[in-house]
Amino acid sequence: MTVIEFSKPLGVTETTIPGLVVFDLPVHGDARGWFKENWQREKMTALGLPDFGPVQNNISFNDAAGTTRGIHAEPWDKWVSVATGRIFGAWVDLREGDTFGAVYTTELDPSKAIFVPRGVGNSYQTLEPDTAYTYLVNDHWSPTASYTFLNLADETAAITWPIPLDQVEISAKDLAHPRLADVVPMTPAKILITGANGQLGRALRDTFGDAPHIEYATRADLDLTDPNLGTARRWRDYSTIINAAAYTAVDTAETPDGRTAAWAGNVTAITNLARIATANGITLVHVSSDYVFDGTKHGEYTEEDPVSPLGVYGQTKAAGDAIVATVSRHYIIRTSWVIGDGNNFVRTMATLAAKGVNPTVVNDQTGRLTFTTTLADAIAHLLNMHAEPGIYNVTNTGEPTTWYDIAREVYRLTGHDPDRVTPVSTADYFANAKGPVAPRPSNSLLSLKKIESKGGALRDSGSSLVTYLEAVKHR
């Protein structure tokens, strides 16, 4: 008969399998019986348990001691605890990676629970009659879900079952599962990258690669403004959405049609993604802009500074940020002056230099360049380290500069006389504009202390400019 240890403190024990965590549960008992908090989100997440968002609660009742089930790796996370009786549990990592095949075993009674991450095979053998265990899962059971299985008697896992397998009740299906050498590892949950053909999207392709679980989408593939976006994918299969799609025509956004398009691309689309992320426990990465500020601050903008956008584009980006911040798992990446594979200021200056054009360039806007390689690597870094959700400023490092300074440097690095570039104020530059002109923040400097405190490797803007121009020259 199970002897329950009463009143022990809530505690955590890490295991040899990454993400597989055993919890000690306080059980309070007297002559009438016992009581426990089987799942307590606030207390348990404070101890490091993922906020995995359970949507279904199941109970498995077993008549006889020795009933054995598994080994099943499922495409969802699972919180398992015993309601009555006692079980021996065995878990095998069946995910892709260095710990594939790692084994952990322990006994569970009502005073213990275990969090089983997606892709870790789980199996249970009852040690007493009339044993019942419960499990919360963060996806609804589906007959079409993709499982990975391992044979209970696999020689490599070499699980020492308390009751030998030839003496217990096992289903014929479980007995027929493959040995470890024949198991196809479960791939990670999918990562969706939108805006895949843009400057940042191309850099994200280089950073994240072409693994089967990485999915790239353009507007032709996936319309983020579609009211039916929520049914466009089986979103429970995704762990992360990186939204690199945006409306960025800042001047056109000041026109009636442009205003409509900007709000659709930067707000309606983000609202759809935020709703999907919230409903399915997905991490949402959103790329924001220095245009959420009015540029009047002296010094660098931090992640805590209040937004104060000047024009329509900035207003839509600020609105998108506010929406993304409602998602439990989110990263808002604030950046400025983005340079990547595509049409941009640096490439334009290099082309003008080669054509013998002497440009006039504004010299009263201050900031730092952000190369898309730096931006993509910073996003990957935050995701890989599971950094706390929130806003992160990301640009290249280096001294503050102006567009005029950058133009001169591009001319110099491409072998042209930088004095061919003439400085001009923003007001004078746009004085004869034929259409609407969006107001620009005069100060776009973003503090990088927060991302650097997380170990983000930000490259110097000067050396990155040299590398970028070399790459452009050889294309």
Q: Hey, which residues does 81 pair with through a beta bridge? A: 113, 134
Q: What CATH number is given to the structural domain containing 73?
A: 2.60.120.10
Of the residues 72, 104, 213, 429, which is catalytic? 72
| pLDDT value at 337 more than 90 | yes
pLDDT of residue 1: 61
* Window from 142-156, 193-207, 271-285, 375-389 with minimum mean pLDDT: 142-156
**pLDDT surpassing 80 at residue 393:** yes
pLDDT attached to residue 145: 82
Domain finish residue from 160, 182, 204: 182
**Largest Cα–Cα distance in the chain?**
93
Q: Is residue 5 part of a domain?
A: no
**Structural element, H or E, at residue 401:** strand 401-402
Instruction: Give the residue numbers spanning the domain of 390.
Output: 190-473
Report yes or no on 308 lying in a domain. Answer: yes
pLDDT of residue 163: 96
Reported as a pLDDT band with limits 50, 70 and 90, residue 6 is confident
> In 3-state terms, what secondary structure has residue 465?
helix
Mean pLDDT of the 206-223 span: 95
205 and 161 fall within a common domain: no
Q: What is the pLDDT of residue 257?
A: 97
CA-closest candidate to residue 111, choices 267, 6, 235, 233? 6
**pLDDT number for residue 416:** 97
In this structure, the answer to whether residues 276 and 353 fall within a common structural domain is yes
In this structure, are residues 287 and 241 in contact, taking their beta carbons and an 8 Å threshold?
no
What's the pLDDT tens digit per position in 227-255? 999 999 999 999 999 999 999 999 999 99
Give residue for tokens 């929520």. Answer: 230
Are 111 and 10 in contact, with CB atoms under 8 Å apart? no
User: Which helix or strand (DSSP H or E) is residue 113 part of?
Assistant: strand 112-116
How crowded is residue 141: how many other Cβ atoms within 10 Å of its Cβ?
10
> 437 burial class (0-12, 13-18, 19+ CB within 10 angstroms)?
middle
Check whether residue 126 and residue 208 sit in a common domain.
Answer: no
pLDDT at residue 474 above 90?
Answer: no
- Structure pTM? 0.90
The two tokens of residue 28 are: 């309070």
pLDDT of the residue at 130: 94
Residue 320's domain is classified under what CATH number? 3.40.50.720
Residues 53-77 have a mean pLDDT of 94
Q: What percent of the chain is modeled with pLDDT above 90? A: 91
Rg (the chain; Cα; Å): 28
Residue 474 among the catalytic residues: no
Question: Which residues lie closer than 8 Å to 181 by C-beta, 6 or more apart?
Answer: 156
Domain membership of residue 196 (yes or no) is yes
Together in a domain, 270 and 362: yes
Specify whether 313 is located in the same domain as 229: yes
Residue 37 pLDDT > 70: yes
What pLDDT, in 10s, does the model give residues 104-138? 999 999 999 999 999 999 999 999 999 999 999 99
Give CA torsion, residues 465, 469, 470, 471, to 10 deg. Answer: 100
The two tokens of residue 324 are 């993304």
Q: Is there a single domain that holds both residue 205 and residue 168?
A: no
Q: Are residues 80 and 196 located together in one domain of the fold?
A: no
3-state secondary structure of 321: helix
Q: What is the average pLDDT score of the chain?
A: 95
SS3 category, 166: helix
Q: Is 214 helix (H, G, I), strand (E, B) or coil?
A: strand
- Is the domain of 308 the same as that of 203? yes
**Can you tell me the mean pLDDT for 313-318?**
98
**Mean pLDDT, residues 331-353 taken together:** 96
> CA 32 → CA 1, 4, 131, 239, distances in Å?
17, 14, 20, 44
Catalytic residue of the set 124, 133, 135, 392: 135
| Pair 42, 87 in one domain | yes
Sign of the dihedral through C-alpha 105, 107, 111, 113: positive
**Distance from C-alpha of 52 to C-alpha of 40, rounded to nearest angstrom:** 12
Residue 17 located in a structural domain:
yes
Per-residue pLDDT for 95 more than 90? yes
pLDDT confidence of residue 208: 97
Angle (CA) 115-118-119 rounded to 5° is: 120
55-66 average pLDDT score: 94
Mark whether 226 and 172 lie in a shared domain.
no
Task: Convert the pLDDT of each residue in 215-234 to its tens digit.
Answer: 999 999 999 999 999 999 99
Three-state SS annotation for 238-286:
EEEEEECCCCCCCCHHHCHHHHHHHHHHHHHHHHHHHHHHHHHCCEEEE
Structure tokens at 4: 């329950």
Nearest to 111 by CA among 22, 20, 27, 10: 27
pLDDT band at 57 (very low <50, low <70, confident <90, very high): very high
Model pLDDT, residue 2: 73
Asked if 340 and 467 count as a contact pair (C-beta separation under 8 A), the reply is: no
Which of 148, 163, 182 terminates a domain? The answer is: 182
Tell me which of 144, 164, 182 is where a domain ends: 182
Tens digit of each residue's pLDDT (9 = 90 or more) over 413-457? 999 999 999 999 999 999 988 899 999 999 999 999 999 999 988
- Whether residues 135 and 206 fall in one domain: no
Q: Cβ distance 251 to 436 under 8 Å?
A: yes
Q: Is 135 a catalytic residue?
A: yes
Provide the number of structural domains found in the chain: 2
Contact present, 271 and 323 (Cβ < 8 Å): yes
Residue 225 is classified by DSSP as: T
Q: Which residues pair with 338 in a beta bridge?
A: 370
The closest alpha carbon to 104, from 120, 118, 119, 126, belongs to 120
Quick one: CA torsion of 412, 414, 416, 422, rounded to 10 degrees?
-60
What are 178-189's pLDDT values in tens digits? 999 999 999 999
Residue 331's nearest CA partner among 271, 391, 266 is 391
Distance separating alpha carbons of residues 100 and 214, to the nearest angstrom? 20
Same domain, 163 and 264: no
